[in-house]
Structure 1
Amino acid sequence: MATGSSTTGIKRVKNPAFNDLLEKRYFQFFRQRTVASTNSIANCRFWDRVVLQACHTTPAVKHAVLALSSLHQLSSLPFDDGRGSQHRIYAERQHKKALEEARTLIATSTPEDVDRILIACIIFIIFEGVRGDYTAVSVHMDSGRAIVAQHLDRLKATSRRKDLEEIEHALARLDLPAICFSDQSSPYRYTLMDFYHTSPFLTPCRFQDIHEAQVSLVDLARWLLLAGDHIDFAELHGDLRSMAKYQAEKVKCAAQVEEWYGHFLDAVDRTDNSDRLLILTLKLWHSCMTMLIRAETYGPEMRYDAFMPLFERTVQYGEQIVERLADRNHTRSFSLELGYIIPIYVTATRCRDPYLRRRAIDLLQKHPRQEGVWKSLAAAAVASRWVAVEEEGLGQVRYSTDVPEHRRIRFIDTQVDIEGKVASVKLTTRGGEKSHEVSAGWKSESAHVTPN
């Protein structure tokens, strides 16, 4: 649906939530295309009920949604399409209005308005993530967490608990990709203590359905990755006491992940075929998490070579997800929710088997998809350069053991240039002997890498 026509002469519409026909068109695109694409893996009540209803009552949410709809339409156009500038201008205009309305909402709010403020905050996080301003993402994420922490007691007691649960879960799902991707200009600052204060779902029990299992796994994944980040930081500073402390956290998390899997399989047995894509996605994440748990957080990169079956299982789940999405015409899609990109990217970079990692990269390249801040083509570009750096000069690599330890990438640092639409990525070997910088652009739904 093209909505980039001039606003001159746009008629006003009767629906009081919208000022003119153009707003109505952008909202319909969001409802019919953005929400549908986002829900391609799992139906999410937050998007198809909570957000859509808030658009009709909260101007800050409405304008933020219209801005996000504009970016979605912009992302679907070829780079040289003239309508792109119109979508971009409209997105900026609506984003500005949304920020103004949000300031008014906050200035005049009562404790009962916390849900509307959080919804707007979540849309702002996603908007900034889609356009690549990760500093702004970090600011909005901090604001959202602070609001939840400030109102946690009331959130637990409110009569509107169901909607607020959906809002809290949506914020938690946004936290997971933030842990996995942190730009140098906006490093991830959330701590395990901050995480515990949100009362995460860390003790799995019998799940009522697969969606409840998803909530639990997201919190367990956040726990695992946060503990890993803390261990990395402690190792970098030679803090052995902290390393032991956070390793103990990881061990506790591992036990809960194992317990989660048993309850998950029980829920799968009670689930109909409509949730098969979500089941595959949770299996994919569980497989990747199991690999990260067993591989430990620190040690030689060659430790990953022992987990080829888990890497292969992860890729197989990803291929099955893409095949099912293709059956539903959602392979080239734009989603505001988590999917398969992060685990497949982890496989492409940490698995050194030449066949498996190229299957993972192929999956990211052949089926362009965006999941929040993660773009499959940009991820494929970085992973491709990662492989080239590790295998350069080695001749024909047949097995993972053909890539020696000193050639393997250990650290990755990213710096995003939002104006130039380019991400500079520094890849550093474990011993620090070499550093490589690449640029991963995402203009016109494509990505490229070139040595700096």
Structure 2
Amino acid sequence: MTSTLISGLDRCSPCLAVREAAAEVHLAHGSWSPTGTTGTKKGGKAKVKSGCRTCKARKIKCDEAFPICRRCSTTGRNCDGYGIWGGGGNARSPPSRVTTDRKTLCIATRNSCTARASLGSPMFISPVVASPDQAALFHWFQARTSCKLPGSFSSHFWSTLLLQSSFGEPAIFHAVLALSSVHKRGVLNSDREELHHTAPDKLERFGLHHYLESIGHLQRHLTGGRNRASCRVALIACIVFVSMDFLRGHFSAGQIHLDSGLKLLQQTCSGPGPSLLAFDEWIIEFFSRLYLQVRLFNRQSLCPYRPLVLRPRSSGIPSLGFHCLKEAWHEIEKLMDDIFLLTDQARDLPSDESSPCRSVTIVESQLEVRHRAAQWLNKYETWVSPTVRAASMVDTRAWYLLRSYHTMVTIMAEVALDPLDEVLFDAYTHLFVRLLDQLRDLRTASSAWLSYPAPLGRNLRYDMARSIIDLGWIPPLFFTVIKCRVPTIRLEAVQLLESTCHREGIWDGRMLARVGRRVIELEEQDFFDHVNPRYDATSYGRQDSGALRASSLPSSYRMHDLEVVLTGDPVRLVTLRFKREKGFDGALATIPI
């Protein structure tokens, strides 16, 4: 685990340590200095600009050995290490205390042009003079942004790594302030008209300024030669940029940032070199989540690159139950990843109408995915009941969300080997009914997040306060709308989408509700005007399935290979690309936003 930069982190949570430090910030205006000094002029000896923190404090030259410098080890002193880049003395000795006075908040910075080891070590520590506006925005990030954006599944990236590295790297510090500006502006102006129609205000200008500052520091990191330490900084900043783009509705820019980050991640975390550390795993985990949500959004997207390092690894011997929410979610991620691979392999296999040509291996892979999905459900049902009863509301919401994703994954696994046959989904209508029931339960359990005091309608304003970067209930709802052809089921799903005015990463509830309505219009046309089905989604299981089959939407009406193309930053136009049987290939439909 990365060594701590904030003192006392071994005896308190990272959030508390940062909160205590931030509470003492009463600083004058200042700026980063290329020489490592601040705008405040003070006399005295020149500062030691390299080495571990112990040698820095002693003002002596450090040999910079890792993880413990020889200067400290040979004299019996405890080495306090190199900030967020690790190292340091034995675990029994807490790191030295970061001092904050009334005028300065000391933040460790790293000279981007010199890095000796693959892990990297900060070459000097300089105080950053933060303005009152910067301090207020950083407090907003710590108290609001970093707590809300992860969604239902906690992440060490948000709770630990990003907060610590904000104190250690100016590139990340400025990126965090830019993200905080976007989030705060959206939350405080949620009752106004769309913000992109108004002139830039103070927070927007502030966010742009710090975004450019962060880019400038990153360029200095990477122009002096790419080592693992510099790449880590770039990867952390990249995640912050993607989050900022998605919150603003700049989805094309976010996917481009993500694509660049995934390529850098593969270069950094694969091949020869030191083994991955804890914070490397946290970075990989978050990139995996971002990749998954973009891939789930569109099979063919602006982000097709999938690093091998994202491939979920086996956790070893299967356990009888889940130990935590994160473990259960990781299993769902593995299942979705394998289903994507199965679908891609099935598309590449030649076939004819009479006898599909499939290898034995791919069929066995599908059976293995089905078996793991069944195992997941057994573990969930065995362990979740007492857990949910004792859980907080946030955890209860997460368990409901997990259950709905499992149902969606089960349907995806069943049809994975026939990606062009949309009629197959009709055989799993009972699972769509179950999925909709689970999403209703989720809404009830999380009314504080997903219900609104105003009447539901199609013109709800975007709500930044409820938006997250991780996956939530929007993907299963949208999946139901486009894959279930029972009118009452998909209609209720689209109505639930229309009651949603937040974003979940690239998934925008308001926008996808309009997409869902358009898909229903294009597929059903006037077919059900003559059928007039009498069944109801909530009571489907008690009704005659023959009536359902008799009114099934013909395959010639159905879309397959649906792709949602977003144009503009923020989105101004949505284009639907899809295929149909017999002469309808390459059809397009546009939806102005």
How would you bin the TM-score normalised by the shorter chain?
0.7 to 0.9
Aligned twin of 1:209: 324
User: Would you say the 8 A contact 1:407–1:429 is kept in 2?
Assistant: no
Residues 165-184 of structure 1 correspond to what in structure 2 (within 5 A)?
165-182=281-298
Q: In structure 1, give the amino acid aligned to 2:286.
A: A
User: Would you say the 8 A contact 1:118–1:147 is kept in 2?
Assistant: no
User: Would you say the 8 A contact 1:126–1:137 is kept in 2?
Assistant: no
| Residue 277 of structure 2 corresponds to residue 277 of structure 1 | no
| Residue 526 of structure 2 corresponds to residue 411 of structure 1 | no
User: Would you say the 8 A contact 1:386–1:427 is kept in 2?
Assistant: no
| Residue 507 of structure 2 corresponds to residue 374 of structure 1 | yes
User: Would you say the 8 A contact 2:566–2:574 is kept in 1?
Assistant: yes
Offset at 1:410? 0.7
Q: In proportion to residue count, which structure has more helix?
A: 1
**Aligned partners of 2:241 and 2:351: how far apart in 1?**
33
1:140-187 Cα distance to aligned partner (Å, 9 max, x none):
2222243232478611xx4xx2x4433322221112112113486725
Structure 1 unpaired stretches of 5+: 1-8, 442-452
**Aligned partners of 2:150 and 2:244: how far apart in 1?**
18
**377-386 vs 195-204, greater mean Cα deviation:** 195-204
Residues 148-227 of structure 1 correspond to what in structure 2 (within 5 A)?
148-150=269-271, 154-155=275-276, 158=277, 161=278, 163-182=279-298, 186-190=302-306, 194=308, 199=313, 201=315, 204-206=318-320, 207-227=322-342
| Residue 374 of structure 2 corresponds to residue 263 of structure 1 | no
From the superposition, tell whether residues 118 and 308 of structure 1 become closer, same or farther in structure 2 (CA, over 3 Å).
same
**Aligned partners of 1:150 and 1:60: how far apart in 2?**
26
Equivalent of residue 433 in structure 2, options 300, 312, 317: 312
**Aligned partners of 1:335 and 1:386: how far apart in 2?**
26
From the superposition, tell whether residues 430 and 345 of structure 1 become closer, same or farther in structure 2 (CA, over 3 Å).
same
1:28-52 Cα distance to aligned partner (Å, 9 max, x none):
2222222232245233332122212
Aligned twin of 1:126: 243
**Aligned partners of 1:114 and 1:427: how far apart in 2?**
37
User: Would you say the 8 A contact 2:335–2:409 is kept in 1?
Assistant: no
User: Would you say the 8 A contact 2:342–2:416 is kept in 1?
Assistant: no
From the superposition, tell whether residues 292 and 74 of structure 1 become closer, same or farther in structure 2 (CA, over 3 Å).
same
From the superposition, tell whether residues 153 and 380 of structure 1 become closer, same or farther in structure 2 (CA, over 3 Å).
farther
Equivalent of residue 494 in structure 2, options 361, 366, 378: 361
Match of 2:105, SS? Answer: coil
| Residue 206 of structure 2 corresponds to residue 90 of structure 1 | yes
Residues 409-448 of structure 1 correspond to what in structure 2 (within 5 A)?
409-419=559-569, 421-431=571-581, 433-434=583-584, 435-439=587-591, 441=593
Equivalent of residue 61 in structure 1, options 157, 172, 178: 172
**Aligned partners of 1:395 and 1:259: how far apart in 2?**
39
**Aligned partners of 1:414 and 1:306: how far apart in 2?**
26
Offset at 1:242? 7.4
Structure 2 unpaired stretches of 5+: 1-26, 31-102, 108-127, 453-462, 534-547
Residues 39-50 of structure 1 correspond to what in structure 2 (within 5 A)?
39-50=150-161
What TM-score do the two structures reach when normalised by structure 1? 0.82
Match of 1:335, SS? Answer: coil
From the superposition, tell whether residues 405 and 42 of structure 1 become closer, same or farther in structure 2 (CA, over 3 Å).
same
User: Would you say the 8 A contact 2:443–2:450 is kept in 1?
Assistant: no
Offset at 1:294? 1.8
Match of 1:154, SS? Answer: coil
**Aligned partners of 1:25 and 1:108: how far apart in 2?**
35
**Aligned partners of 1:208 and 1:426: how far apart in 2?**
42
**Aligned partners of 2:436 and 2:523: how far apart in 1?**
21
Offset at 1:205? 3.0
**71-80 vs 358-367, greater mean Cα deviation:** 71-80
Aligned twin of 2:182: 71
Residues 218-237 of structure 1 correspond to what in structure 2 (within 5 A)?
218-234=333-349
Match of 2:384, SS? Answer: helix
Number of residue pairs aligned between Structure 1 and Structure 2:
425
Match of 1:438, SS? Answer: strand
Offset at 1:380? 1.2
1:357-386 Cα distance to aligned partner (Å, 9 max, x none):
122111211121211111111111111110
From the superposition, tell whether residues 80 and 196 of structure 1 become closer, same or farther in structure 2 (CA, over 3 Å).
closer
Aligned twin of 1:444: none
Equivalent of residue 518 in structure 2, options 382, 385, 394: 385
**49-58 vs 82-91, greater mean Cα deviation:** 82-91
User: Would you say the 8 A contact 2:262–2:306 is kept in 1?
Assistant: no
From the superposition, tell whether residues 257 and 402 of structure 1 become closer, same or farther in structure 2 (CA, over 3 Å).
closer
Offset at 1:440? 5.1
From the superposition, tell whether residues 187 and 115 of structure 1 become closer, same or farther in structure 2 (CA, over 3 Å).
closer
| Residue 105 of structure 2 corresponds to residue 15 of structure 1 | yes
User: Would you say the 8 A contact 2:284–2:310 is kept in 1?
Assistant: no
Offset at 1:256? 2.1
Residues 263-342 of structure 1 correspond to what in structure 2 (within 5 A)?
263-269=379-385, 271=387, 272-274=390-392, 275-298=395-418, 299-327=420-448, 332=463, 333-342=466-475
From the superposition, tell whether residues 66 and 408 of structure 1 become closer, same or farther in structure 2 (CA, over 3 Å).
same
Q: In structure 1, give the amino acid aligned to 2:104.
A: K
Aligned twin of 2:483: 350
| Residue 287 of structure 2 corresponds to residue 137 of structure 1 | no
1:262-314 Cα distance to aligned partner (Å, 9 max, x none):
33334425633122111111111100000111234415312111112211222
Offset at 1:189? 3.3
Q: In structure 1, give the amino acid aligned to 2:236.
A: I
Match of 2:574, SS? Answer: strand
What TM-score do the two structures reach when normalised by structure 2? 0.64
From the superposition, tell whether residues 29 and 65 of structure 1 become closer, same or farther in structure 2 (CA, over 3 Å).
same
The structure that has the greater radius of gyration is: 2
User: Would you say the 8 A contact 2:154–2:326 is kept in 1?
Assistant: no
**Aligned partners of 1:342 and 1:368: how far apart in 2?**
14
**271-280 vs 324-333, greater mean Cα deviation:** 324-333
Offset at 1:348? 0.9
Match of 1:56, SS? Answer: helix
Offset at 1:437? 1.3
Offset at 1:349? 0.7
Offset at 1:345? 0.8
